[in-house]
Structure 1
Amino acid sequence: MGSLRGLRQVAGSYFRLYERGASSSLRLTRNSALKRINGYCAKPQESPKAPSYTYSHRVPLHKPTHWEKKILLWSGRFKKEDEIPETVSFEMLDAAKNKIRVKVSYAMIVLTVAGCIWMVIEGKKAAKRNESLTSLNLEKKARLREEAAVKAKTE
């Protein structure tokens, strides 16, 4: 246990020496964005002011492609292609795409349920004709054996 404690102390002192050298370079490179307080780096307490790179209140606009115009029409956002403005917001385009995504999902659900119902109906029709997968496979194998026997005789 004693060696572990000594190892921690050596590592801690080495880290503090390294931190002193690194913190001075941090202060120089980041224009005093970080300052040293009790051996730790912390952000300075300054009055909140808006940085120069803040998001402006204008919404960024996007010129829709032909496909995006079709999406805007299918989603019901616009009635005619002539009504679509030259530029639209990304939010409007995302909302239209999400609406189309939901409609496609509903259509896939309906097609899946319809396919299941259709397969049940076809299975019941086959059961009335006394057809099963087993009987169909046995008939197919018998046919293949006959063809193989005929082919073997001709050779």
Structure 2
Amino acid sequence: MTKSTYRSWSGEGKRLGHCFRLCERNVSSPLRLTRNTDLKRINGFCTKPQESPKAPTQSYRHRVPLHKPTDFEKKILLWSGRFKKEEEIPETISFEMLDAAKNKIRVKVSYLMIALTVAGCVYMVIEGKKAAKRHESLTSLNLERKARLREEAAMKAKAD
């Protein structure tokens, strides 16, 4: 692309933008609502700051509701590591403290389940390899069982 071509296109772009702005002034009001300034002016939105609501006359104390833990909840607090001894647990605790302890226990239990699942998979792989060395497979076991059942059925038919 040559410089002269670029100059002519950029000049046309400027002229088109100017024409667009001129046409925009003559467009009906619903199409002009797309501009924020026109939106405020046409619809008469108030731009003055809103009045702040009155402050309450009484001051409220922010009190966290307390909960007396059960024996099981005390064990949860100990298992989660929140307290070292049961004697350290206060008479009442906040619900947030109890929820945090329960969440820690949930995470520990999920880690335990993951570890047990992996250990079970490894155990099954080892047992499967041992069974393969003994030439035991589900197919051979099923064929042996079916043969035994056929023999029993044949003996039962002879006895009748």
Cα distance in structure 2, aligned partners of 1:148 and 1:106: 51
Aligned length: 112
Quote how far apart the aligned CAs of 1:73 are.
0.9
1:95 aligns with 2:95: no
1:151 aligns with 2:159: no
Deviations 1:35-94 (A, max 9, x none): xxx9xxxxxx54233568x97411111111111111111101111212111100011001
Aligned position for 2:75: 70
Quote how far apart the aligned CAs of 1:132 are.
1.0
RMSD over equivalenced CA pairs, Å = 2.3
Aligned position for 1:130: 135
Gaps of 5+ in 1: 1-37, 39-44
Cα distance in structure 1, aligned partners of 2:121 and 2:127: 10
Cα distance in structure 2, aligned partners of 1:57 and 1:98: 25
- Correspondence list, 1:15-26, <5 A: none
Quote how far apart the aligned CAs of 1:153 are.
2.4
Gaps of 5+ in 2: 1-42, 44-49
Q: TM-score, normalised by structure 1?
A: 0.65
1:141 aligns with 2:146: yes
Aligned position for 1:104: 109
Cα distance in structure 1, aligned partners of 2:152 and 2:60: 77
Cα distance in structure 2, aligned partners of 1:55 and 1:153: 94
Cα distance in structure 1, aligned partners of 2:60 and 2:156: 80
